[in-house]
A = this chain, B = another copy of it.
Amino acid sequence: MSTIKKVAEEAKVSVATVSRVLNSTGYVNEETRKKVLKVIKELDYKPNSVARSLFKKQSMTIALIVPNITNPFFPEVARAIEDVLSSKDYTLILCNSDDNSEKEKKYFEVMKQKYVDGVIVVTSTLTPQYIEEKGIPIVAVDRFIDPAIPCVSVNNIEGAKRAVQYLKSTGCKKIAHIRGPKNITSAEDRYLGYLNEVESESWFETDYVRCGNFNIEQTTEETRKLLNENPDIDGIFAGNDLMAVGVIKAAMQLGKKIPEDLSVIGFDGISLCKMTNPEITTIAQPIYEIGSVAAQTLLDLIEGRVIEKKHHQLEVTINKGQSTKTRGE
C-alpha cells in the first residue's frame, strides 16, 4: 500500500508538503501541488482518514440520532439527509436511541471521541447545556430543543388545527384525539392544536384524548376502549400515521366502517399511508425537504458559513386518502 512517505519520495518533496497539499493548509507552489496530486493519483495513495482526522479533528462523518428506526418517518428523513451528505462525500452514521436519554448520551460520547463533524438529532431528553458542552455542531429535527440550536420542523400546532378543521369540514361532530407521548414536543404541540379547535365546542370532553405513545398496538387498544365508551365519536385525529393505522385497526375490529362511521386523519405523510386500505388521509410533512434542509444547515455550521435562518418551519399539506369523507358528503 502507498504511504505518504512514498508519495513524498516520488514527488521529490517533503512529507510536510504532501500533507499541506492533502489538507489544503499552508502555502504550496502551484506546480509542486500539481506534481504531488499527480503522484498521489499514480500511486493510488489513499490518505488514512483516522490519521487525518486526528490531525484535522475532522472525519467527514455525520451522525443522525433518531428515536425509532422502525417508524418509517425516520428512514425517510435519513434517506434525504444521506442524499445531501453523500454528494459532499460525508458518511452518515445512523443511531437508534429508543428515546432513551442514556443511549443518546452514550452516542454523543462515542461521536465526540470519533471526531464526528456534526450531529443531526431527534431528541426530547437532551438539554441545551449538555449539547453545548459537547462542542459539536448540531441541528435538531422534528423536535425543538432551544432557540440557540438550529431546528427543522413543521408548525405542529397549525398542522393539528388543520387536521381538526378538515374533519369538521367533512361533517364530523365529535372528534377525539389519540396523542403521542407527553414528554415529546411535537406530540404536545399537536395535542395543543387539537385542543385549540375543540375546547369551546359543547360536545368536547377531556376523556376524548387518549395516549397511543406513537405505537400501533397501544393505539389499537386505547381506541377500542375509547370507542366502546363513546360510540358516538365520528372522527379521530391521530398524532402520527402509525397511530392512524392503530385507530383503523381498532375501528375494523369493532365493525365500524371507515369513513362512513368514523373518519380518521393522521400526521406525517409517510409512504405507509398509501399502502393501507383505506389509504390514510394525513397532514403531510415535507419529509424529504426536512432532511435535506437539516443536512444543508449542518454543513453550513461545519464549514463555517453564516446561518441566515436558524429555525425552519416548513409547510404541511393535507394528503387526502380514503379514511375521511369528501367535504359535504
Contacts and interface: CB of A to CB of B under 8 A. Distances in A.
Given A46-B113, A49-B110, A275-B276, A93 B96 contact: no
A72 interface: yes
Interface in A32-57: 46-51, 53-54
B79 A70 contact: yes
Task: State the oligomeric state as a number of copies.
Answer: 2
Interface string A110-130: 100111000000000000000
Nearest to A275: B245
B82 A96 contact: yes
A75 B86 contact: no
A17 interface: no
A96 B79 contact: yes
Contact of A275 (B46, B49, B216): B216
A92 interface: yes
A83 to B, nearest CB: 9
A78 B69 contact: yes
Contacts of A109: 46
A272 interface: yes
A13 interface: no
Given A113-B49, A275-B272, A94 B92 contact: yes
A234 B110 CA distance: 54
A144 to B, nearest CB: 25
B69 A79 contact: yes
A276 to B, nearest CB: 6
A114 B70 contact: no
